Amino acid sequence: MKIVKGAVAVKFGKPLYGAEALAAGALALGKRAQVFVGETKSVFSVEIVPASRLTPAALLALGGEFLNEALNHEYRQRVIQANAPLTRAVLAPLFAKGFPAVPADPLEELEPQVKADRVRDVEELLAQARGMK
Amino acid sequence: MAGSAVVRFASVDEQAFLGAAYALTADAYALVTRKGKGGSVELWPKRKLAPKALAAAFRREYANQRLRWALTRDGLGLRAETLRRALALADASGGRAEAPQAALTPEQKAEIAALLAEAEADKGPRDPLGITQPWEDSRKER
């Protein structure tokens, strides 16, 4: 973290910090600053420009708040990922109960060609959708 | 920038490393960097705190977090399975609390009251030799 011409410049290494972490940092600062982000393959370069002129100590605090918020976001994601088995244990039965398997279509059961045609149609539509920009 | 502390490790447990940096955010602003298996953290104190003290606090916290995360990972499967079984049991019982135990009948209550009254009235076994009497009491009587 460096103070350059009344703004704060920080480099965040990828993939440890993601774009969402930087967004969380910017959100924490709100209207107190503008945040500009540059990106290379391995680094995010962030410039934090305060809305009003600040002392070096206040700039450090502003940049530090951004750092801590970004770290908070990343660490929270790690904790959520690490606890995924517990989340699955709670949610899986709920989803299994709430969304029972769709019963087979009797038309497809009687005439296998209907199912084959539908699969082909869906694949064509998906291919069209993927080609759209 | 002057006044910051940098702590480097050749090999880090990322979750614990981030956890240690996060734990210090009450006292410092933290920026974590990874390089290969290694990692470093730069800490800027929020208040007047010597960088050396901050670095030492980070090392302590990292050791603590490594242990916490190791324990967390070890027991995670077991906790998930316990939770899954507990939920399955709750689901099997229809989510209702267990039925309360049957209440005592008036006859049973009367019998218990009579037994308690009898126990309170009983002054204990006879002790003509004063064996149960404390030594101090027997000295006073002389």
Residue of B1, B35, B80 lying closest to A2 (CB–CB): B1
Residues of B in contact with A12 (CB under 8 A): 31
A118 to chain B, any CB pair closer than 8 A? The answer is no
Q: Measure in Å the smallest separation between the Cα of B33 and chain A Cα atoms.
A: 6
Q: For residue B142, is pLDDT > 60?
A: no
Question: A5-9, A87-91, A94-98, B57-61: lowest mean pLDDT where?
Answer: A94-98
Percent of chain A with pLDDT over 70: 99
Residues of A in contact with B72 (CB under 8 A): 82
Cβ–Cβ < 8 Å for A54, A5: no
Residues of A in contact with B1 (CB under 8 A): 1-3, 60
Task: Check residues A104 and A5 and name the one with the higher pLDDT.
Answer: A5
Q: For residue B131, is pLDDT > 70?
A: yes
Burial class (CB in 10 A: 0-12, 13-18, 19+), B84: middle
Q: What is the pLDDT of residues B21-70, one digit of tens each?
A: 999 999 999 999 999 999 999 999 998 889 999 999 999 999 999 999 99
A22-48 average pLDDT score: 96
Query: What would you measure as the largest C-alpha separation in chain A, in angstroms?
Result: 78
Residue of A3, A16, A61 lying closest to B32 (CB–CB): A16
| Contact assignment for A3 to B1 by CB distance below 8 Å | yes
Question: Which tokens go with A26?
Answer: 């910017």
Instruction: Determine which of A71, A72, A76 to mutate to test the interface with B (most B C-beta atoms within 10 Å).
Output: A71
Rounded-to-integer distance, Cα B48 and Cα B59, Å:
19
Rounded-to-integer distance, Cα A101 and Cα A116, Å:
20
Residues of A in contact with B68 (CB under 8 A): none
Which is nearest to A11 in space by CA: A54, A69, A67? A67
Which residues numbered 18-77 in A keep a CB inside 8 Å of some CB on B? 60-61, 63-65, 67-68, 71-72, 74-75
SS3 content of chain A, % helix, strand, coil (to 5): 60, 20, 20
Question: A94-103, A121-130, B12-21, B79-88: lowest mean pLDDT where?
Answer: A94-103
Residues of B in contact with A72 (CB under 8 A): 22, 25
Q: For residue B141, is pLDDT > 70?
A: no
Task: Check residues B102 and B115 and name the one with the higher pLDDT.
Answer: B115
Q: Which residues pair with B34 in a beta bridge?
A: B39
Question: Which tokens go with A123?
Answer: 């694949």
Residue of A64, A75, A93 lying closest to B91 (CB–CB): A93
CA terminus-to-terminus distance, chain B: 88
Which is nearest to B3 in space by CA: B24, B26, B29, B22? B29
Residue of A68, A75, A89 lying closest to B80 (CB–CB): A89
| Contact assignment for A82 to B72 by CB distance below 8 Å | yes
